[in-house]
C-alpha cells in the first residue's frame, strides 16, 4: 500500500489497514528511524486509565464529577 506525506508532515494510514487493525482516531504511535529511508511505526498500548476523564465527564448525570486541580493533591 502507498500513502503520501502531507504539507504538514502527516502520513495517513490507508483505511484498509485502520479497519483491519482497529486503529481509532487519537491512538498513539512511536516512529523509529531504522536507517535512511526506512522507518518502523509501532502502536503504543493505551494506558489503563486513558480516556477515563472523558468517560466520566460524558456521564448523563451532570455535575456529579468535578475535576480537581492537580496541585491540590501535592500534599497527599
Report the Cα 3 to chain-centroid distance in Å: 20
Extract the runs of DSSP E, i.e. beta strands, from the chain. 29-35, 38-43
pLDDT of residue 67: 73
What are 4-53's pLDDT values in tens digits? 999 999 999 999 999 999 998 888 899 999 999 999 999 988 777 777 77
Q: Do 17 and 23 form a contact (C-beta atoms < 8 A)?
A: yes
Instruction: Please give the grid coordinates belonging to residue 44.
Output: 503504543
User: Does the pLDDT of residue 66 top 90, yes or no?
Assistant: no
pLDDT-derived band at 75 (thresholds 50, 70, 90) equals low
Q: Could you tell me which of 55, 46, 53 has the C-alpha nearest to residue 67?
A: 53
pTM of the model: 0.53
56 three-class SS: helix
31 three-class SS: strand
User: Does the pLDDT of residue 76 top 70, yes or no?
Assistant: no
Amino acid at each position: 500500500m502507498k500513502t503520501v506525506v502531507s504539507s504538514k508532515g502527516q502520513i495517513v494510514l490507508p483505511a484498509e489497514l485502520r479497519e483491519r487493525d482497529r486503529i481509532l482516531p487519537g491512538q498513539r504511535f512511536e516512529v523509529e528511524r531504522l536507517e535512511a529511508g526506512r522507518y518502523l511505526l509501532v502502536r503504543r498500548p493505551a494506558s489503563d486509565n486513558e480516556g477515563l476523564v472523558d468517560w466520566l465527564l460524558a456521564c448523563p448525570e451532570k455535575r456529579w464529577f468535578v475535576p480537581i486541580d492537580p496541585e491540590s493533591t501535592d500534599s497527599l
